Amino acid sequence: MSPLTWQKSSFSEAGADTCIEVAAAPTQTPHLRESDNPTTVLTTTPAALRALLRGIKAGVGAGAGFGGVAPR
């Protein structure tokens, strides 16, 4: 597997280590990681990533915690 080219949002502060980074493999498989823990990588499908982004933009689960589940 060739090395991935990671990108983070242009809205991220310079030098900030609390950003989500995204990379796509040659197969178009999306990969996500937290910039302060770059060795842990989440691999998903394009459809699942689209659904996640649609939900975030729509505010699904807003104020309820991760995944729409209220924090304990």
Q: What is the arithmetic mean of pLDDT over 19-47?
A: 91
| Per-residue model confidence as pLDDT tens digits over 52-61 | 889 888 887 6
For residue 29, the model assigns a pLDDT of: 93
Going by C-beta distance under 8 Å and a sequence separation of 6 or more, which residues neighbour residue 40? 33, 34
Distances (CA, A) of 53 to 2, 5, 47, 49, 63: 26, 20, 10, 6, 16
pTM here is 0.69
Q: What is the arithmetic mean of pLDDT over 42-62?
A: 87
Q: Per-domain residue ranges for the chain?
A: 7-68
Report the amino acid identity of residue 2: S
